[in-house]
Amino acid sequence: MNIVLLGAPGAGKGTQAQKLVEEFGFAHISTGDLLRAAVSAKTKLGIQAKSYMDAGKLVPDDLVISLVKERLDADDAKNGFILDGFPRNTAQAVTLDSELAAMDRRLDAALLVSVEPDVIVKRLSSRRTCRNCGYTAPAGVDVCPRCGGEMYQRDDDKPETIQHRLDVYNTQTAPLIEYYKGHSILKEVDGDRPVDEVYADVRKLLSLAC
C-alpha cells in the first residue's frame, strides 16, 4: 500500500506512521530524513541541497522530488511506502502523481490525522526534549529517563512558534486535503484520542488486515 500522510505539526502523524511500519513493513519516507542523510553522505543531491540550506533557503521542489524518486526506487519501498512531509503543496502532489505513473505505481490513500489547532498548541507546548538523545516527554520531566540528559523546551515547541507553523501549514499544505478528496483517496481520522484507538481506526480506514 502506498500512502501519503497529512496533518498539522504535532497531530501525531509520525507515531501512526511508525506503528504502520512496525506492523506491515512499509518504507517510511520522510523528506527531512532524506535531506539530512543526503547532506551527511555528501551525495550529489545532498551537496546541492546543502547549498540552499546553508543560505537559509527552501530546497527547490525539483531537488526534493529527485530525492524522493531515488528513495522510491529502493527495494524496501517496492512493497509499500508512507510519504511523510511530502508533498507539501498541490504542485508537488501533481508532480508526484506524474512520477509515480511513470514508475507504473499510484497512491492508494492520503491519510489525514486531524487535530484541532488549540489541542496541538497545548500538546506541543507541554513537550520537553532531551538535549543529548532527543527523547521527548511531558513538561515536569527534568531528567531524561533514557540517558539522564537535561530536558528542555525547544524553540519549535513554544506557543508563538507553534502558531506560526500552523499558519504555514494552513496556507501551503492544507489545500492538499481538497486535492486528495477530489481524487477520492482521502481518509480522515480523529487524532485527538489515545494512540492505540487512533491506530485501530487507521487500520480500518486503510482496509488493512486485523
How many angstroms separate the CA atoms of 165 and 159, rounded? 10
123 given a catalytic annotation: no
Q: Classify strands 81-84 and 2-6 as parallel, antiparallel or unpaired.
A: parallel
pLDDT of residue 119: 92
Selected catalytic residue, list 36, 69, 165, 203: 165
Residue-wise pLDDT for 80-137, tens only, equals 999 998 998 999 999 999 999 999 999 999 999 999 999 999 988 998 999 999 888 9
| Predicted TM-score of the model (pTM) | 0.82
Selected catalytic residue, list 88, 105, 193, 203: 88
Q: Which residue has the higher pLDDT, 139 or 186?
A: 186
Q: Which three cell numbers stand for residue 34?
A: 532524506
Closest to 126 measured CA to CA, from 145, 110, 106, 141: 141
127 given a catalytic annotation: yes
Confidence band of 210 (pLDDT split at 50, 70, 90): low
193 given a catalytic annotation: no
- Please state the domain extents for the chain: 2-26+79-115+172-205
Selected catalytic residue, list 123, 127, 128, 187: 127
The pLDDT of residue 149 is above 80: yes
Three-class SS string for the chain?
A: CEEEEECCCCCCHHHHHHHHHHHHCCEEEEHHHHHHHHHHHCCHHHHHHHHHHHCCCCCCHHHHHHHHHHHHCCHHHCCCEEEECCCCCHHHHHHHHHHHHHCCCCCCEEEEEECCHHHHHHHHHCEEEECCCCCEEECCCCECCCCCCEEECCHHHCHHHHHHHHHHHHHHHCHHHHHHHHCCCEEEEECCCCHHHHHHHHHHHCCCCC
The pLDDT of residue 57 is above 70: yes
Cell numbers 486503510 correspond to what residue?
Answer: 206
Q: Classify strands 109-114 and 186-190 as parallel, antiparallel or unpaired.
A: parallel
88 given a catalytic annotation: yes
- The rounded percent of the chain whose pLDDT value lies above 70 is 99
Domain 2-26+79-115+172-205: CATH superfamily, name plus number: P-loop containing nucleotide triphosphate hydrolases (3.40.50.300)
> 11 and 120 in contact (C-beta within 8 Å)?
yes
Residue-wise pLDDT for 8-21, tens only, equals 988 999 889 999 99
Residue-wise pLDDT for 82-93, tens only, equals 999 899 899 999
Q: What is the mean pLDDT of residues 165-182?
A: 91
Confidence band of 209 (pLDDT split at 50, 70, 90): low
Selected catalytic residue, list 69, 154, 193, 203: 154
pLDDT of residue 31: 85
Residue-wise pLDDT for 34-50, tens only, equals 888 898 899 998 899 88
154 given a catalytic annotation: yes
> 128 and 152 in contact (C-beta within 8 Å)?
yes
